[in-house]
Structure formats: structure tokens, C-alpha cells
Structure 1
């Protein structure tokens, strides 16, 4: 099921009465490292906020490709999971006690459920101009693009940057932010993503399935290369040759020899700035698909098979599948 239709945005808030908060919920949980089938949907208690935390009713979370490696156990040395684990780094929802619409990045996961308990300092007000389902696409992808461009690549007005693999969720933010900063944006994308990448503002889109990058660029040096694609080591090693003197290579996927391998971090100040750009009409957020949370294992399977729609896939808990009060 791929349904990109969303309800109209609203700025209204309404406290969710405690009496209507269910005692249990159906959450996605991982009990062991492995393939997509290790993701189960189970009845668990609705979390009780610890001192200093708030309960958030989750409107949506979203899928991030790095969650495949997390689920498979490939990141256990750097990001070990306490099993069973509720995934979901991106959060968009409503604070139960106040009705405030919020978004946040949860490094410990937990948003792949109807409710999650979090420290309020991890949250920022959600965009007023977007439905919460769309806002769930912002935290991880938006922060990754921001930090890659402005901290690692240090782009500025007049920079010339190549964004390799711009058709995904991070690419949508990176192209828009780089263009807004005054950079000349050259992007690679597959034919199915090219139109969206052009809409986001790329000055030039190269079909990475049809032509070699060094031929397409015709020897014009770059100030920065941002790699967002899981390319082979040989292709990664060839990227620095595209840079001019003082140029910077950054990757959030396959490491680039001599370049910066970025692991994005939570930053609520940057997240609030992204929200402000969205509400000012300067940053478009358009998830490629909105699907029920119950399909999370299928989303993982499609991503591993290379058949998942490009762009951000948002996942929505189904209120009708919650357990009784």
C-alpha cells in the first residue's frame, strides 16, 4: 500500500484526556538481529513517562536506510540494541498533556509505536504548515543534509557541489538547502528520481545509470562532493578526483578515501531552523509514500531488494489496531 495523500495541516492543539489513553498498544519490536522478519508487531504497555519526560502520541515515524544495518546487527559495535527494541528515530506527534504538535530525532528509537515517552528537550514545535505525517520526514534526513553541507562540506554562496544519489530522502533536503545557500548544484539521480531532483532546484541532473561522472562533468572542478549513495569502493575512490584545489569530499554512505564520513547527530537548534524554513515556504517536504506501521517489515524487505520507492517513506501507527483500554 503506497498512499501519499495526507490530511490537511492544522495548527490547532487539543489535550488528549488521560482517561482515553489506552493501557496497551501495538508496537513494532525487534527481538533479535536478522532479516526483516525479525520485526514483529506486539501488544505492549503504553509507556509511563519517567520524571522529566512527556508522553507523545505518535502521528508518524519514517524509514531510514541505516535502519537496515541496525536491524541486521551490522552496527552492533557502535550502536548496540537493548532487545527487544522498538525502532523509529524520526518522531512527529502530539504531547498528550498539552496537545502541542512536535517533532524530534530519537537516537534510542521508540517512535515505531502509537505512543512514546521522551525528554521534552529532544523535541521542537512541528511545522505549522505541514500535516504531522509529512513532518515525520524531517528530523534524520534534514539534519543529515544540514550537517553534511554546512559543517562538513562548508558550502557557501558560489560553491559548486556534486550531490551523488540525490533522489533519496536526504538528497531532497540537500539539493534544496544547497541551492538556497547560493551554491551551484549538480546532482546525480536515476531516471525515476530525476524530475523530483530538478523540482528541488538542482541546476543539472546527471543520469548516473548512463554516463560516467568524470565524462559528464567535463573536467570542471568541484568545491564539494556529497555522496549519499551506497556505491562500491572503486566508485567512492574516484570521487576525490572530481574536486578542485581545497575541495572537500563528504559521504554519509560508502566512505570516500581521504574524505569525511559523516554520522549525523541530534541538534534541536538546527531542527528548529529547518522547521522555520518549512513554514517560510523555503523548504519543501513531500514524502514519497505514507504507509501503515504494520507494513514496516515489508518496507525493510523492499529496501533490501531495491524496490522501495525513492524518497522518504513515512509510517503511520493505526489507531484502530490499538489494544482496548
Structure 2
């Protein structure tokens, strides 16, 4: 079957609010050497993409405009470029595309960024894994060094990263205390949290019942909220934040860091294995067509999203 020469994309031609997202017809790309062309089954929305669209990340992540959105990709190999080894036409793949571009019907992807998609879940759902899953893996295992027998506080467990963090910390054997609002609490329990604290009802510290070994913070915080969380970690413990940095007192004996996740295909492949083993589930809260991406950006900016939202071209 002959593929069309044009494809739909969601692009920005300038920085700004969600109204700058445009749905353009553009030429379908061809894979370069070392690349494959992926027919996109789905991408997923990550809140950082709203900051990217708004120009807040220009200092360290400048864009060539127009820019096609979408870091996560799940799809099927449609064409193989020269010297692109490891995948064949028809293979189901997922990956994190640091150059973005997955909010489209097709995307070029270096084979070095892709792994075989999970066999046990729909291919569209697998689009939720790369960015959020890698962030969670690195927060839990690399930086948090979560291990069996520890008490771990997951602050912001109801978000897309939070679901994976909760499951991976549980898999590591930790006692997981998770904060979540009323609409996310049940999902967080299903993901393995031993205790769920409703942060809308009382201060986290009052409901915690003693210090924790590790605090994994996944949400933006006010200075006062960040300061209130720092003392909840015991001396010798760790604080890892993917959002607002949390600085413990200098004499607290606590290791604190602010992390930015990197692309790592070995870790992504390990996540796929855990999904296929039934250890890690993928919680898709909603699925939308590509032309709803602007609405999803607006909803995210007012706190209206739970879990992972996938976008289907």
C-alpha cells in the first residue's frame, strides 16, 4: 500500500499560550541513515511540554521553529533508513525523542532511541512509558536509591510520573506513603501505595507518622511548602525533586538533589520487561485526538489532568 506524501502534525510557529499550537499538513519525512520512519500510534502529554511551548525552557532547550511537539512515541516501523539495524518494517516500538516530533502521523527516529514495545498492553498505551517511566526509574533507583525496608514519601503520586514512582518504589520493597488528592487516591492505592495522604485535608507532616528515609517530590511547590517537607526526612536520608528544589537545613544530614531525567534505552527496555511481567501497569486517564492537544495543554495549566493522557493522530 502506497503511503501518503502528506501528514498531520501539531506544531508551534512561535512561543506563547496554548493557542499557538497549529495543526499543519506537512510532507511526510524520510528516514536518514541510522533512522527508521515510525507510523505513530500515539504520543503522550507531559506537563513540561507546556513550559516548552510557552518559551520557559529556551535558555537550555532552544527550538528551531516551527517545532512539532511530542517527546513520547509508540508506533510501528514503516520504513528503514540506510545503516539502521535492529528493527524491521512492522516492528512495534517505543522511545523518547529528544528532538520531539511525535505529535504527528509519522516521525523519524534514530534506532538508538527505540526499544521493542510491550506486548501485554495496547500500543497506544505504551506511549505513556518513555518520559514519565524514565523519570520515575531514575528518581527511584539512581538518585533516591530506594531499597527494601525503607519508608518513602512520594509527593504528587497522582500525576503521570507519580504512578510509575509509586509502582517502582513498591517493587523495590519500600513502604510507600503517597500524597494524592481525592480524585487520584484510589488509583494511587491500586498502584501499590501502603498509605495515601490527602494533601487537601491536612498538612502532610501531620499525617505522616514519623520521618521517612526518602522524599521523592514530583510537583511544583511554594517556598513555604518546600520548607515544610524538608524536615520530614531523617538524618542520612535523601530528597529527590523533579520539580521545585527542596533544600534541607545545612545541619540536617540529608542529601538533596534536583534532577532532570535523561534518555536511557537500557532502562526503558527494563521498564518494558516489568510491564510485560505484570509488575508495572500503565494508567491511561484519557485518550484524545491530535486536534485536542491545545485543549490538553490548557487543562494541564489549571491542574485538570490526572495520570497519563495519550494523543492519537
**Structure 1 length-normalised TM:** 0.90
More strand by share: 2
1:149 partnered with 2:144: no
1:124 is aligned to 115
1:201 partnered with 2:192: yes
**C-alpha deviation, 1:231, in angstroms:** 1.7
1:311 is aligned to 307
1:256 is aligned to 246
1:222 is aligned to 212
> How is 1:224-243 mapped onto 2 (pairs within 5 angstroms)?
224-243=214-233
Q: Does the CA contact (< 8 Å) of 1:250 and 1:260 recur in 2?
A: yes
> How is 1:145-184 mapped onto 2 (pairs within 5 angstroms)?
145-184=136-175
2:105 is aligned to 114
2:270 is aligned to 273
SS of corresponding position for 1:64: coil
Deviation beyond 6 Å, 4+ runs, structure 1: none
Q: Does the CA contact (< 8 Å) of 1:239 and 1:249 recur in 2?
A: no
Instruction: Note the aligned Cα RMSD (angstroms).
Output: 0.9
| Partner Cα distance (1:217, 1:298) in 2 | 36
**C-alpha deviation, 1:252, in angstroms:** 0.7
1:102 partnered with 2:98: no
| Partner Cα distance (1:167, 1:52) in 2 | 38
SS of corresponding position for 1:42: strand
| Partner Cα distance (1:132, 1:84) in 2 | 28
| Partner Cα distance (1:50, 1:214) in 2 | 53
> Which of the numbers 25, 31, 36 marks the counterpart of 2:18?
36
**C-alpha deviation, 1:307, in angstroms:** 2.3
**C-alpha deviation, 1:260, in angstroms:** 0.9
SS of corresponding position for 1:247: strand
SS of corresponding position for 1:136: helix
2:55 is aligned to 73
The structure whose RCO (Cα within 8 Å, separation 6+) is larger is: 1
Deviations 1:133-157 (A, max 9, x none): 1000000110000000111111111
| Partner Cα distance (1:307, 1:173) in 2 | 19
Structure 2: unaligned runs, 5 residues or longer: 80-88, 249-255
| Partner Cα distance (2:119, 2:175) in 1 | 30
> Which of the numbers 29, 40, 46 marks the counterpart of 1:64?
46
Deviations 1:138-183 (A, max 9, x none): 0011000000011111111111100001001111111111001100
